[in-house]
Structure 1
């Protein structure tokens, strides 16, 4: 499996640490870019050398919601092909529907149990590690 470059957009530091812990414990080869909100993420994406293979996006964040970020991303001709997977605690049907309408590649509800979280993240990483990605 190749090295994946992730952009994790998550305002909760514990969630960011938990994600890194799963990657490290499973010996995945990765590069991780982190943003606490959509504005920070857009700043990171301005750097053409830091384009991620996959964006993991929380919906509920300060300053700019995940859906607002997604609309801006998908309107950008250079960035719109980056796959985005929502990683959220929300299992609200409207959030799910709006996210898919904006062009997400997947939606993962963060489970309460750590073991279930590990399994979901492992499945996500292994799928995207084997998937053909569009590199600009």
Structure 2
């Protein structure tokens, strides 16, 4: 895994780097975030301490970083997690000098993924939410493209995946998918159509709109009916 590390503390910088290099990760260390700009391509994670937590993630995301930004440092995990939430980071990992640090780092990078459900049917959205939350995903909901746009525009609420209905009022799923896929700001977001339309039609839309795939709404609802009768 390619990991960028940007810390004001030289001690935290070196300890974190050595621990992750020993675990087989590709590590790039810098105290100044500008020096990491040429390395953002393919980076899965950015580790920052409190001294760089406000500057580095914003700068590197603006330059194309699409991985998870984590707060690192000494102290209790709970305190770091609270600080990370306040700073709008994706998580935190404590004690870079401990033996289990690489394992906890991997868990933090692969932590809860955020899914945005865009569907004008609240019933379908609730069914999807129940199933995905049970699998550990964090769920957001938008009844239309306008609300969905307001969610994805904010870095702190931007999802990893959009489950997108096709037939919606005003802006339909195909139009919204094209908007997401043509905008460089949203290149880290995967889009799956979630539709009851015929498979062949949905497959054509996947190709035309640049979506990442689709799931059948009929199969989902059928599974729910069987499980609850």
Once residues 30 and 113 of structure 1 are traced to their aligned partners in structure 2, the CA distance between those partners, rounded to angstroms, is: 17
Instruction: Calculate the TM-score normalised by the size of structure 1.
Output: 0.75
- Give TM-score scaled by structure 2 length: 0.46
Please list every run of 5 or more consecutive structure 1 residues that lacks an aligned counterpart in the other structure: 119-136
Corresponding position of 2:8:
none
The partner residue of 1:105 within 195, 199, 212 is 212
Note the C-alpha offset of 1:58: 0.3
Aligned equivalents of 2:191 and 2:115: distance in 1?
10
* 2:155 equivalent in structure 1: 48
Q: Deviations 1:10-56 (Å, cap 9, x if unpaired)?
A: 110100111122234xx322211111111111111111111111110
1:30 aligns with 2:137: yes
Higher RCO structure, 1 or 2 (CA under 8 Å, sep 6+): 1
Query: Which sections of structure 2, spanning at least 5 residues, go unmatched?
Result: 1-109
Name which one, 1 or 2, has greater alpha-carbon Rg: 2
Partner of 2:169: 62
Q: Which residue of 1 aligns with 2:119?
A: 10
Please provide the CA RMSD for this pair. 2.1
**Number of paired residues?**
116
Structure 1 residue 93 corresponds to structure 2 residue 193: no
